[in-house]
Amino acid sequence: MSDKKDLPLAPAGLGRRSFINTAALVGLTAGVAACTEKTGSAATPAAPAPAAPASAHASAGAATHLKPGELDTYYGLWSGGHTGDMRVLGLPSGREITRIPCFVPDALVGWGITNESKAIMGTKPDGSLKYTVADTHHTHASYKDGNYDGRYAWINDKINSRLARIRLDYFVCDKITELPNVQGFHGIFPDKADPVDPAINYTTRVFCGAEFSIPLPNTGTEDSGKYRSMFTCVDAESMEVRWQVLIDGNCDLTATSYDGKLAATNQYNTEMGAKYEDMMSSERDACLFFNIARIEEAVKAGKFKTIGTSKVPVVDGTLEANKDPKTALTAYVSVPKNPHGVNASPDGKYFICAGKLSPTATVIELSKVLEWFDGKLEKIDAAIVAEVELGLGPLHTAFDGRGNAYTTLFLDSQVVKWNVDKAIAFHKGDKAAKYVVDRIDVHYQPGHINATQSETKAADGKYLAVGCKFSKDRFLPAGPLHPENEQLIDISGEKMVLMADHPVRGEPHDFIIFKRDLVKPKQVYTLDEFPLAVKDPKESGVFRSGKKVTVKMTSQAPAFSLREFKLKKGDEVTLILTNLDKIEDLTHGFAIPNYNVNFIVNPLETKSVTFVADKPGVFWCYCTHFCHALHLEMRTRMIVEA
């Protein structure tokens, strides 16, 4: 990057918190030490975290304990980490309501067992699942008019570069797309509007960043100088990949502007290093901006190439190809060392990058980025309107809609509340501008953070959740693998107040929190949604075509429509089950012993499984989901004749 300059470490007043796990942080601490230890402009001195009155803690804690039958006021959509699913929480209680399986088989609902789920997950030619592991990180939802619209949510799989879409009417995964030409698919964010047609004010795309660089095409060369990264756009409706951008450096997290004109990714490895010491050799990295309309115009005009066997259009977003602002597709804004996270303020004015290996946050004014693309701003780095010190190890940022930002400090084990306008004033020279409003200790080493309605125009500043990577002494010990600690904080007042701790199995990542009235979940399916639906018990039976057999069946508490069904050894069987119960919460299960079959059907839902009847004998198929006083009697016999 051009115009690189050394950035001072935080002054002595911003020293590390007394409780740091040095073994876990050795790499990150080494990176901070690599910063040039110079004295520069002094930041607002860091006051010790103020202690809230005992009554405030008691009041905040009481808010999380709802009365029996009382509903939460917010939904939270959380990544499930290595479980490959999405967690759904109610807030402020922190109760986990359900999990939505996406990338990894789930024994409860039969995800990865039923034909319908296997078609979504992807299979090999032999019918087995293509992947059975995942690493979900980031989850975001679709927008309309700058707020969530309750249609979709998306979540990524970093390991296998997959993007899953969740239908929020049923809270189920309905599509999964594997991205070509990338590895380490990490950050995602949907657009908040469509810039091509100003009349479209809802999400039409999802933007995806590739963290790892690879040879393109991936020939396996060891020369990392030939590795490259991609930024990807996926169609929100079809879930097909629309285009990709070849870039210098890598991608990390992603953000989009409210006017639909810009997307961005922070870059922590502009050096393109293959070893960690190379990845932090430079004092500054970048926040990379994408001019969405220009990219789509270039694709439409045929100004792209394809790579390998992929047919996806790839445009050139490298520095060398985008020197002229008036034709540039991309813009690289220089930000301090190894940033981790880029977030959009609710007023639509700014993107904020946190330094991670620098104690700073950088505020970038989006109107100035657009001025550069129009040739009205001489240098793109002039879009930086603040670069202020917050503490050690700043990572992610949330907002309260009142002009305040909240940033996690990984090394300080704190959340810092700071005012964006005052930070800008301080950066301009007003050293009396006290931009740090408050600090609170969290337990321990916080990573992701989000607040109620945070990255929407409707940010309400009620609650803030923070995911802490270490729990240490916060919960009963249960062996070497400690849970992580998700903490809830009341941010409705000037001072932050810790409300609750919640242990969670690792390794969850990002999340969003939104008001419950923004979604209208359906409680019962519609039969017509399922082409294979068995709409009447009279349609039940065993239908043979040589060795291929179809078994059609319905369930209505407390019985299956077939009391028994007979097969022959070697039959290839497709069993179709429709739940004809129309009552909310009346779910049935179906399990076949010794055949690795177990799945559920919700009211008026249809699912199917295919298996080979290779074991002769009598097999009691039974309902696995409690449904009726005669639940234990709800069975049918599968008889496989030798």
Q: What is the pLDDT of residue 567?
A: 98
Q: Are 141 and 450 in contact (CB under 8 A)?
A: no
The domain boundary, picked from 449, 483, 518, lies at 518
Would residue 4 count as lying in a domain? no
Q: In terms of Cα–Cα distance, which of 151, 145, 306, 193 is closest to 241? A: 306
Question: Which one has a higher pLDDT value, 244 or 60?
Answer: 244
**Mean pLDDT for the chain?**
91
Q: Is residue 5 part of a domain?
A: no
Assigned token pair, 515: 């008001």
CB 569 within 8 A of CB 642: yes
Assess whether 206 and 318 both reside in one domain: yes
pLDDT reported for residue 94: 96
Q: Does any domain span residue 7?
A: no
Tell me the per-residue pLDDT of 78-119, one tens digit each, with 9 for 90 and over.
999 999 999 999 999 999 999 999 999 999 999 999 999 999
Region 56-71 average pLDDT: 80
pLDDT for 504 equals 94
For residue 139, CA distances in Å to 52, 89, 263, 513, 601 come to 32, 13, 16, 11, 26
Q: Are residues 462 and 491 in the same domain?
A: yes
Q: Which of 634, 638, 618 is nearest to 579 (CA)?
A: 634
* pLDDT confidence of residue 46: 46
Assess contact for 125 and 134: CB atoms under 8 A: no
Model pTM?
Answer: 0.91
CATH code, domain carrying 550: 2.60.40.420
Residues 581-606 as b or e (16 or more Cβ within 10 Å = b) = beeeebbbbbbbeebebbbbbbbbbb
Q: Which residue in 596, 460, 468, 410 sits closest to 20, CA to CA?
A: 410
| Interior angle at CA 115, CA 605 and CA 505, nearest 5 | 85
Q: What is the mean pLDDT of residues 505-514?
A: 93
**Are 299 and 244 part of one and the same domain?**
yes
Site of tokens 């989901």: 625
Has residue 548 got a pLDDT over 70? yes
Q: Which of 8, 200, 87, 175 is nearest to 506 (CA)?
A: 87
Domain-located, residue 486: yes
Q: Is the pLDDT of residue 415 over 90?
A: yes
pLDDT at position 491 over 70: yes
Q: What are 452's two structure tokens?
A: 């109620």
Number of domains in the chain: 2
Specify the pLDDT at position 224.
87
In whole angstroms, give the CA distance from residue 466 to residue 468.
6
| SS3 state at 58 | helix
> What pLDDT band is residue 54 in, cutting at 50, 70 and 90?
low
Same domain membership, residue 513 and residue 472: yes
Q: Are residues 498 and 551 in the same domain?
A: no
Nearest to 451 by CA among 437, 436, 461: 461
- Shared domain for 463 and 549, answered yes or no, is no
Share of the chain above pLDDT 90, in %: 87
Supply the DSSP symbol for 180: T
What is the rounded average pLDDT of the residues 333-350?
97
The pLDDT value recorded for residue 225 is 86
For residues 127-151, average pLDDT: 97
What pLDDT digit, counting tens, does each position of 550-574 carry?
999 999 999 999 999 999 999 999 9
Answer with the one of 468, 486, 518 that is the final residue of a domain.
Answer: 518
Long-range contacts formed by 214-217: CB under 8 A, 24+ apart: 214/181, 214/182, 214/183, 216/181, 216/246, 216/307, 216/308, 217/181, 217/307, 217/308, 217/309
510 with 552, same domain: the answer is no
Read off φ and ψ for residue 296, nearest 5 degrees.
Answer: -70, -30
Of 303, 325, 307, nearest to 316 by C-alpha is 303
- Give 309's pLDDT tier (boundaries 50, 70, 90): very high
Flag whether pLDDT at 370 surpasses 70: yes
Structural domain includes residue 6: no
Among 456, 488, 518, the domain-final residue is: 518
Whether the pLDDT of residue 198 is over 90: the answer is no
Question: Is the domain of 304 the same as that of 209?
Answer: yes
Task: Quote the pLDDT of residue 42.
Answer: 38
Residue type, 450: N
| 21 domain residue, yes or no | yes
Q: Is the pLDDT of residue 511 over 80?
A: yes
Six-digit token pair at 43?
Answer: 């930041």
What is the per-residue pLDDT for 58? 64
In a domain, 2, yes or no: no
Instruction: Confirm whether 1 is domain-assigned.
Output: no
Whether residues 431 and 549 share a domain: the answer is: no
Domain range for 570: 527-641
Q: Are residues 507 and 563 in the same domain?
A: no
Query: Within this chain, do residues 531 and 438 fall inside the same structural domain, yes or no?
Result: no
456 and 565 co-located in one domain: no
Confidence of residue 51 (pLDDT cuts 50, 70, 90): low
CATH number for the domain spanning 128: value is: 2.130.10.10
